[in-house]
Structure 1
Amino acid sequence: MSIARLSVELIPRSAEALVEDVALVKAHFPLADTLNIPDLMRFPLRSWDAAALTRPLFGQVIPHIRAIDIAPDAPLPGAEQPGLSEILIVHGDPPADLSRRTYPNSTESIIRRYRREAPHLRIYAAFDPYRRAPWQELEDVARKKEAGATGFFTQPVFDLKLFDLCREWLAGETVFWGLSPVIGPRSRSYWETTNHVVFPRDFSPTLAANITFAATVLRELGKDGGSAYLMPVRIKLEHYLPALAELLG
């Protein structure tokens, strides 16, 4: 399989848990060459600090940066971090804790600021085929590219037909395609309610079906050197990654 890059998304629950997860990825999924780390307000470890911790253990690490958290006069997270070469800028959801201050930044404004102040960093932005009408999302893609984004991370896809359609829309772009297992009715309800995902009629929320789907997408991406990231939320890495690696051969 000639997939260009394959990342695993790790949740930065704590420094200790993150180090354990890195070890699990290295032991059970040697196909991965990259880690990406979201910035989650419910945990004290910020994504760029998690990247500094994990990069010596793994190599390529891409922290997520929330645009709405960056104060106009504050240093840019990760801009001066030795060895960091890539970041993903997302807009960010408002925090549940209303005492936590946010700022009226757009994703594009923060991309432009990184381009000015940290031109050595490669910047990715987000693409979400479920959020709104496709033409609106593709206009957003064009604005992010104009601002300086050089690639995209997609919201996880769960439908081969939608995956093929999105590949047409993003043809010629550098894209990490998202894959996330959805196990059981509660997990499915989360994606439907929070992210407005429309699952195909024959979707099966079982571990085996999700692993088979991920392997199918990865094989397709391998045909033309595409990239992907795995987001195994609400499931133990050791229950998902070894079985997927075995299926991929």
Structure 2
Amino acid sequence: MSLSRLSVELIPRTNEALLDDVARVKTLLPAADTLNIPDLMRFPLRSWDAAALVRPHFPSVVPHVRAIDIAPDATLPGADQDGLKDVLVVHGDPPADLSHRTYPNSTESIIRRYKKEAPHLRVYAAFDPYRRAPWRELEDVARKKEAGAEGFFTQPVFDLKLFDLCQEWLQNETVFWGLSPVIGPKSRSYWETTNHVVFPKNFEPTLDANIHFAQTVLRTLSNQKGSVYLMPLRVKLDQYLPPLLEALE
């Protein structure tokens, strides 16, 4: 068995740095068939422009689109981009720069616009088991599906028990399961403070432990023909990606 899709999330800091990361992913993790690119306000390169930049080198790219940034009369990001097949619509956090204008859009309203104005695109939405009561998150899943979402990208998971539970909740859905290394106390504190993650009691914020966890999840999903996205934050790609190939062989 094998994964259905394997994506790596890359940060679009600059054109040059992004293209360098793309080349390294192709070399270090040849099993990867997709890239997903977040839209981060602290960098000038927008996710859909980054997607256009890297698609000649990596044809399957999923740019993230922040719903609160889309003006009512604006063309949807990526809607007219040749060869683009997927987008991920997230709500988006309020910008730190108060001069950056936002709009009172819901995730569902932008998904509906994509389904109406760019029906050729496959639209994904987000699933986060940490930020609130699970029943509220699952209500959101139902609303996003009703709006036209065809699959979900999860917040990274760090606990096998929670992973199993989320698999039950999202049974029969198309899901990219998130995996991200948490190395050291500062990284752990970031996830706990910013994303309200509750780590298991035996969690170890070491590279080896995170690789072992990712390998376990990858083997499980490989047997199920599931899909994964890797978010290699604050680690060197050449340290994190190659060991994960062992779980896919």
Same fold judged by TM-score > 0.5?
Answer: yes
Amino acid at match of 2:227: S
CA distance in 2, matches of 1:77, 1:165: 34
The residue aligned with 1:136 is 136
Q: Is the 8 A contact 2:111 2:147 kept in 1?
A: yes
CA distance in 1, matches of 2:113, 2:41: 23
CA distance in 1, matches of 2:247, 2:86: 30
Q: How much has 1:235 moved relative to structure 2?
A: 1.2
CA distance in 2, matches of 1:30, 1:213: 20
The residue aligned with 2:147 is 147
Determine helix, strand or coil for the equivalent of 2:55: helix
Amino acid at match of 1:135: W
Unaligned segments of structure 2, at least 5 residues: none
Deviations 1:23-61 (A, max 9, x none): 000000011000000000000000000000111101100
The residue aligned with 2:168 is 168
Determine helix, strand or coil for the equivalent of 1:123: strand
The residue aligned with 1:31 is 31
C-alpha RMSD of matched pairs (Å): 0.8
2:86 equivalent to 1:86? yes
Determine helix, strand or coil for the equivalent of 2:6: strand
CA distance in 2, matches of 1:223, 1:68: 38
Aligned length: 249
Q: How does 1:159-238 map to 2 (within 5 A)?
A: 159-238=159-238
CA distance in 2, matches of 1:184, 1:119: 43
TM-score (norm 1): 0.99
Amino acid at match of 2:132: R
CA distance in 2, matches of 1:238, 1:99: 39
CA distance in 2, matches of 1:58, 1:81: 15
Q: How much has 1:243 moved relative to structure 2?
A: 2.3
TM-score (norm 2): 0.99
The residue aligned with 2:42 is 42
Runs of 4+ in 1 over 6 A off after TM superposition: none
